[in-house]
A and B are shown apart, each in its own frame.
Chain A
Amino acid sequence: DSGVTQTPKHLITATGQRVTLRCSPRSGDLSVYWYQQSLDQGLQFLIQYYNGEERAKGNILERFSAQQFPDLHSELNLSSLELGDSALYFCASSPGTFRSDGYTFGSGTRLTVV
């Protein structure tokens, strides 16, 4: 157990729908990162939050949004889902805004859009 908790582990939904993925960072970590892993795009950075504020943005679609709450858990909202959004979504956390020894990853949420 890495200490980073992601729920749900699996999610199947239809095109056009909206889903919310949840991440609880490791105790004491203030930064949360979201990554998408798909067969064609590989692992891509989506967005980072630090202590409730957006810190960095990557290849995140406009249909996607995220936030970090006062208790430091984060949610990734995916709307108007398309077949191509099917992927493994990872959350990772770190104590600060930068961690030279890498992050701690959760076990991911497998999203299948049908």
Chain B
Amino acid sequence: AQTVTQSQPEMSVQEAETVTLSCTYDTSENNYYLFWYKQPPSRQMILVIRQEAYKQQNATENRFSVNFQKAAKSFSLKISDSQLGDTAMYFCAFMKPSNSKLTFGKGITLSVRP
């Protein structure tokens, strides 16, 4: 079974600064997908970024980028130029193609200070 670990329960960052959220996972699969989801106070689950395990290039979406280390089974999210609207819970998640289930980490609460 796959497990996803987010060891930091909460973090705080000053507006306009950069913050990195950590995630590690455990799997015996070689082909899989990793995701970061954002859950703002509105409760909506919003996809932030995704990474395909067979791609070595790290995914980037505007201010969001990942550092994917397959051998270390690490998948961290970097948020650049943090904005107040980035305040939310962030979940790391794993999916394998043969099973459409998303396995989530416990999440991390990120607060962006003005």
Give the B-binding residues of A (Cβ under 8 A): 2, 31, 33, 35, 42-45, 48, 55-56, 58, 88, 90, 92, 94, 97-103, 105, 107-108, 110
The answer to the question of B35 belonging to the interface, with a C-beta cut-off of 8 Å to chain A, is yes
Q: Is the CB of B100 within 8 A of A56?
A: yes
B102 within 8 A of A: yes
Tell me the interface secondary structure of chain B in the complex: strand
Of A33, A42, A44, A58, chain B has the most CB atoms within 10 Å of the CB of A42
Report which of A44, A90, A94, A107 forms a contact with B42, defined as CB distance below 8 A.
Answer: A107
Contact B102 A31 (CB under 8 A): no
Which residues of chain A come closer than 8 Å to B107, judged between CB atoms? Answer: 42-43
A-B contact pairs, 16 of them (CB 8 A): A42-B107, A43-B102, A43-B107, A45-B103, A48-B100, A56-B99, A56-B101, A88-B43, A92-B45, A98-B97, A98-B100, A105-B44, A105-B45, A107-B42, A108-B44, A110-B43
B106: A residues at CB distance < 8 A: 42
Closest to A109 in B: B43
Q: Assuming A107-B42, A107-B44, is B102 touching A102 (CB within 8 A)?
A: yes
With an 8 A cutoff between CB atoms, is B33 at the interface? yes
Chain B residue with the shortest CB-CB distance to A105: B45
B102: chain A residues within 8 A (beta carbon): 33, 35, 43, 45, 102-103
Q: Does B52 contact A (CB under 8 A)?
A: yes
- Residue of B whose beta carbon sits closest to that of A100: B33
Q: Are B91 and A43 in contact (CB under 8 A)?
A: yes
Task: Across the interface, name the chain B residue whose C-beta is closest to A40.
Answer: B106
Residues of chain B in range 70-114 having any CB-CB distance to chain A below 8 Å: 91, 93, 95, 97, 99-107
Report the bound CA distance from A107 to B39 in whole Å: 10
A92 to B97, CA, bound (A): 17
Neighbouring B residues of A90 by C-beta, 8 Å: 45
A45 touches B101 (CB 8 A): yes
B101 touches A48 (CB 8 A): yes
Are A42 and B47 within 8 A (Cβ)?
no
Q: Within the complex, what minimum Cβ distance (angstroms) separates A5 from chain B?
A: 12
Q: How far is the CB of B77 from chain A (nearest CB, A)?
A: 14
